[in-house]
Amino acid sequence: MNLNVLIGLAMGLNLLALGSSRIPSVIRAMSVQGVLLGIMPVLLATELDWHVAIVALATVTGKGLVIPALLRRAMRAVSIEREVEPIVGFELSLLLGAGATIGAVATARWLPVLPEHSGTLLVPGAMATVATGFILLVGRVKAITQVCGYLILENGIYLFGLLLIRSTPVLVEAGVLLDVTVGVFVIGIIVDRIQRTFDSLDTRKLTALRE
Amino acid sequence: MREILLIVLPLVGALVAAAWPSDRTRPWLLPVVGGAHLGLAMWLLASPPVVSPGDWMGFDPLARAVLPVVSLLFFICALYAVAYLRIRRDRPNRVFVAMLLTVIGLLSAGHQARHLGLLWVGTEAVTLAAVPLLHFNDTPRSIEATWKYLLVGGTGIALSLLGSLCLGYASLHGGGGGDMTFVALTAQGTGLSLPWVRIAWVLLLVGYGTKMGLAPMHTWKPEAYGEAPGIVGAILAGGVTTVAFTAILRVRSVVGAAGAGAIADRTLLIIGLFSMLVAAVFLLATRNFKRMLGYSSVEHMGILSIGASLGAAGVWAALFHVWSNSLTKGALFLSAANIRRATGSASVDDVRGAAVLTPRSAALFVAGMFAVTAAPPFGPFFSELRLIRVALADGQGVAVAMILGCLLLAFFGISRVVFAIVDGRPRPSAKKGIGRLAEAPGTILPPLVFLGLSLWLGLFTPTLLQEVWSAAGLQLFPVP
């Protein structure tokens, strides 16, 4: 039951990220979502072993603290505060996000799930979050918001991964965390390069390679 | 043990390269490690080790059918890299050399992965390791290309993770015990939950297809190949894309065992034809000969995808095509790099008279063009012929007509660009740049060797390789 409340909150944060024009609020929505995701494996586990504790701790610090801090620093370096003129407007992306959430809840009914997962919102939550990530990735022009979109997409995948947390080996979970950490380091480096080379984080300036 | 060495050796080499003090001598690590890797790969090709079914890693028939050519490609590119990095003294090469070695190590791991999660970790790591290679030149355009590669490639890999998790859940829902090796998943067969298998297939095809460069997920490819150094393009086009292709083949066999093989084949065929069509259209329009190679790669990935849709015989043709395409692309990328360096531009609008400026590279480029557009007697001609015969035997007449039409359009597009830069009188402004390039043996022999290998593969396809491709087909489509 508690789990569903958290997933519901995470889905609400999706909409917050879609509807806000200020980049700091998108980052905040993403980091709060990261903390919520970190708590979930603890709720799911029957007993608390070191393995679940590590996943939870790494998720909370990684997704909730380190990554948002890196993004905030990048944002301050170029002094951008808000996303102006997104490709997909804020109202439209909010509508799309709401549509995706409703669609996810409706279609998830058709998918067979194991009895122990039948009462949870994990599948629709994952689908809605992945869709949110996509909308941000495609519909925004600032590199930082696109990175946020990518990370929200990853959060959706993480939600889905919770379905498998009891059965899959440590490897897959380690892969998920490794991916986020390394991915952000690389993205961080590239964002830094873009900013130094183009003096801006507006990806619309990256248009030399058009045909 | 030997097969693990294929992974460990380059990774250790990468650490050594990172610690190596001299920029001048560091590039020699590439051919040294590459040569040892090639020796190991050939030894494994000749006498493969026994793979026990439950292994997470192993030099199985599929790895044996593909990994040797990746190793061969890497070694020849490594020889070219020594000459290239001598010319490019202006750029520090520590990260570049270390990451090239990391890429070949991780590619060896990805090709040998027999576990769903491990396969994903390997391919994801290759994607990230290739990032510093792309912006070696550190120009605004190369950073733009890197950003697109990272964003598109990262999303693709994220989707393939989601697909892997869906396939895992399909197994769990069907009563599986959480064993995610491909052997276990295939053994579970129709016990897998079909709705989840279908979702997993779509996500994995899109995810790994992005990495392979199938249209419409190909958008990173012309950018990356256009801006990265030639060797990086060759390794991406011939090595990194193949690991995604073998990933799709491995997943396809699980999906087939689950009873959704017909849907999988249809999607592979459609996405393959669409890739060929998109590539042909863009080849007719592009005005940049390095981007042209990117679109040509999209076309050949389409051919591989079509091959994968035609059962064991199609996979045989596709694996043959992996070999011929990798070797031919090597010749094209390296000779294009020579021309690009001598003329200072990759655009048809600026480059003319390459036959005068760089006669040997231009000759190699033209010969490579004929090879890649499937002129006999080069490798691609025979592998594509094989594929078309398999498709006709399968009753895919319309598809064959489309393939032939796209090949013809691609030939028009590629030959138009190639002759535009090779023919004519050099622009007066270009003559100043000539001093920067001596057509030294170090930059001419590697593409020549590639072309020779492509020719050899077409004329004298070794029986050993033919047997290996058949064995890989048998691994993916076991005869009951």
- Each residue of A132-157: pLDDT tens digit? 999 998 888 888 888 888 889 988 98
DSSP letter at B271 equals: H
Report the pLDDT averaged over residues A188-199. 71
pLDDT for A207: 67
Could you say which residues from 262 to 301 on chain B have a Cβ atom under 8 Å away from some Cβ of chain A? 282, 285-286, 291
CB B442 within 8 A of CB B83: yes
Which of B263, B247, B171 lies closest to B211 in space, CA to CA?
A: B247
pLDDT band at B197 (very low <50, low <70, confident <90, very high): very high
Cα–Cα distance for residue pair B306/A49, rounded to 1 Å: 48
What is the predicted ipTM?
A: 0.89
Asked if B286 lies within 8 A of A172 by C-beta distance, the reply is no
- pLDDT above 70 for B382: yes
Is residue A210 a part of any domain in this protein? no
Phi, psi of B52 (to 5 degrees): -85, 140
pLDDT for A117: 82
Residues 6+ apart with CB under 8 A from B91: B136, B137, B138
pLDDT for B107: 96
pLDDT tens column, B270-319: 999 999 999 999 999 999 999 999 999 999 999 999 999 999 999 999 99
Report the pLDDT averaged over residues B77-93. 91
pLDDT for A185: 67
Of A175, A186, A208, the CB nearest to B140: A208
Is residue A189 a part of any domain in this protein? yes
- pLDDT above 70 for A170: no
Query: DSSP states of B318-372 as a string?
Result: HHHHHHHHHHHHHHHHHHHHHHHHHHS--BTTT---HHHHSHHHHHHHHHHHHHH
Average pLDDT of the residues of chain B: 91
Q: How many angstroms away from the CA of B247 is the closest CA of chain A? A: 17
CB B18 within 8 A of CB B98: yes
Task: Read off the tokens for B160.
Answer: 């393939």
CA closest to B195 among chain A residues: A111
Average pLDDT of the residues of chain A: 81
pLDDT band at B252 (very low <50, low <70, confident <90, very high): very high
Burial category of A46 from C-beta neighbours within 10 Å (exposed 0-12, middle 13-18, buried 19 and up): exposed
- pLDDT above 60 for A210: no
Q: How many angstroms away from the CA of B139 is the closest CA of chain A? A: 8
> How many CB atoms sit inside 10 A of residue B91's CB?
13
Report the pLDDT averaged over residues B371-397. 93
Which of A187, A186, A197 lies closest to B143 in space, CA to CA?
A: A197
pLDDT tens column, A44-100: 777 767 777 877 888 888 888 888 888 887 777 777 777 767 888 888 999 999 999
Phi, psi of A141 (to 5 degrees): -105, -20
Burial B186-225 (b: 16+ CB within 10 A, else e): bebeeebbbebbbbbbebbbbbbbbbbbbbebbbbbbbbb
Q: Which residue has the higher pLDDT, A110 or B269?
A: B269
Is residue A211 a part of any domain in this protein? no
CB B321 within 8 A of CB B380: yes
pLDDT tens column, B86-125: 988 888 999 999 999 999 999 999 999 999 888 998 888 8
CB B322 within 8 A of CB B69: yes
pLDDT for A174: 62
- Supply the pTM of this predicted model: 0.93
Asked if B178 lies within 8 A of A110 by C-beta distance, the reply is no
Q: Which of A1-15, A27-41, A64-78, B162-176 has the lowest mean pLDDT?
A: A64-78
CB B107 within 8 A of CB B70: yes
pLDDT band at B457 (very low <50, low <70, confident <90, very high): very high
Q: Identify the domain containing residue A81 by its residue range.
A: 2-205
Could you say which residues from 189 to 248 on chain B have a Cβ atom under 8 Å away from some Cβ of chain A? 193, 195-196, 199, 222-223, 226-227
Asked if A114 lies within 8 A of B131 by C-beta distance, the reply is no
Task: Read off the tokens for B98.
Answer: 């270390």
Question: Vertex A209, ends B428 and B129: CA angle to 5°?
Answer: 110
pLDDT band at B32 (very low <50, low <70, confident <90, very high): very high
For chain A, how many structural domains are there in total? 1
Q: What's the number of CA atoms in the CB half-sphere (13 Å) around residue B142?
A: 15
Query: 């270390």: which residue's tokens?
Result: B98
pLDDT for B473: 92
pLDDT band at B401 (very low <50, low <70, confident <90, very high): very high
pLDDT for B208: 95
DSSP letter at B190 equals: G
Q: Residues of chain A with pLDDT > 70: what percent?
A: 82
